[in-house]
Amino acid sequence: MLPNLRLPWPLPALMAWAGSWLVFVALQPVASSFWALVLPCLLGTVASLWGKTWWRRGLIAAGFPLSLALTGVATLPAWAWLVPLALLLLVYPLNAWRDAPVFPTPRHALQALAVQAPLPSGARVLDAGCGLGDGLLALRHAYPDVALEGIEWSWPLRAACALRCPWARVRRADMWKADWSTYQMVYLFQRPESMARAAAKAQAELAAGAWLVSLEFAVPGVLPFAQLRAPGGRVVWIYRMPLSSQSGRGG
């Protein structure tokens, strides 16, 4: 999948712009001006998943229409500038911008998780903010016998995740408004700023003995039940309900 490719900047932008131009040129003899503009912009928007920051994603997505206007190859109608913006808003809804960027969980990052956080067969496990499904794939590798579910606010990402992970129940919802009380584990790959909010929600809704698992970012002020060093050097932080800042266990 596209986001798994690790390319140095600005190579992702250059490749996306070149691909959009190739599509644009190829469509000139066979498609209307509308589709000749929309489809290259769509390609640029999908390629924007390569960007690690919001400004890089915006630059990748806007590069083709901007270069088209500057070169004067085609006269762009006024509405043309709304196309990349509309596509970006579909993939990255505004209310999800405060959460984690679309960045994949490495496939084997959770391979030792079941040793520290065992789950019974059929346990319900949630990937909160599942994106394109890389976290679900990693969870399935760690827990082949659990019932995996994903929540994603962006409907294009939700649709892509459902196609990649047909064995999981993937739905479009706001992870902060969804009920976590029926899950035995909630997995997150969010941002440092999100972790206090996630911990408060887990503390309020998850049952005693349930797990909160975070890749990369710790809950501030709370000692983990365990922590793992994943391949590639990332840390997996494991918390067990109820959370406590007074006791913990190193892993």
- At 17 the pLDDT is 77
Mean pLDDT for the chain overall: 81
- At 87 the pLDDT is 60
Higher pLDDT, 85 or 66: 66
Q: Is 212 helix (H, G, I), strand (E, B) or coil?
A: strand
Q: Which of 41-50, 132-141, 208-217 has the lowest mean pLDDT?
A: 41-50
Give CATH for domain 113-240. 3.40.50.150
User: Which two structure tokens, joined as six digits, stand for 69?
Assistant: 């206007």
Question: Looking at the predicted structure, is the pLDDT value of residue 251 above 50?
Answer: no
pLDDT digits (tens, 9 = 90+) for 85-132: 566 555 555 445 444 555 678 888 999 999 999 999 999 999 999 988
Contact call for residues 126 and 165 (beta carbons, < 8 A):
no
Question: Looking at the predicted structure, is the pLDDT value of residue 37 above 90?
Answer: no
Helix, strand, coil percent content, the chain, rounded in steps of 5: 45, 15, 45
Mean pLDDT to the nearest integer, 61-72: 71
Element (H, E) at 228: strand 226-229
User: Which two structure tokens, joined as six digits, stand for 60?
Assistant: 């990748």
- At 145 the pLDDT is 97
- At 79 the pLDDT is 60
Q: What is the DSSP string of 186-206?
A: EEE---GGGHHHHHHHHHHHS
What is the separation of C-alpha 137 from the centre of its chain, rounded to a whole number of angstroms? Answer: 13
All CATH 3.40.50.150 domain ranges in the chain, comma separated: 113-240
